[in-house]
Amino acid sequence: MQWGVLAAVALGGAVGSLLRYFAAGAIQPVNAAFPWGIFVVNITGGLAMGMIVELGALKLNFTPEMRAFLTVGILGGYTTFSTFSLDSALLIERGAYTLAASYMIGSVVLSVAALFAGMFLIRAI
């Protein structure tokens, strides 16, 4: 790993995490049953990832540091869902529909299951 890339990821992650905190808090209605704040963050993160990846591929020549800062750093801190969305889109674009469906369904179901498993493990201690 290059130190410049690592620094870009760290700085971007801090920025993205703050963006997520403030955006989700500003969007989330008080006492709403549905997590609108994070829902919107996840969707806008996916949109931003798509835009950044395409801009980088078609229009701009990002340095490795800038690419890491924007995608892994800011969007990774803003929402890891954007990376999940990109991975899913790449599988779909490659025509790996069964693999894409398995990845998407498995990621969501198993991530939620793992979250509950972690909660239950801690509660059992």
Taking the model in full, what pTM does it have?
0.78
Answer whether residue 69 shows pLDDT above 90.
Answer: yes
- How many structural domains compose the chain? 1
Answer whether residue 86 shows pLDDT above 90.
Answer: no
pLDDT band (50, 70, 90) for residue 4 = very high
Residue 71 domain-assigned?
yes
Give the mean pLDDT of the chain. 92
As a whole number, mean pLDDT of residues 52-67 equals: 90
Task: Report pLDDT digits (tens) over 100-122.
Answer: 999 999 999 999 998 899 888 89
Residue 101 domain-assigned?
no
Residue 27 domain-assigned?
yes
Residue 111 domain-assigned?
no
CB of 86 closer than 8 Å to CB of 53: yes
* Domain ranges, residue 18: 3-79
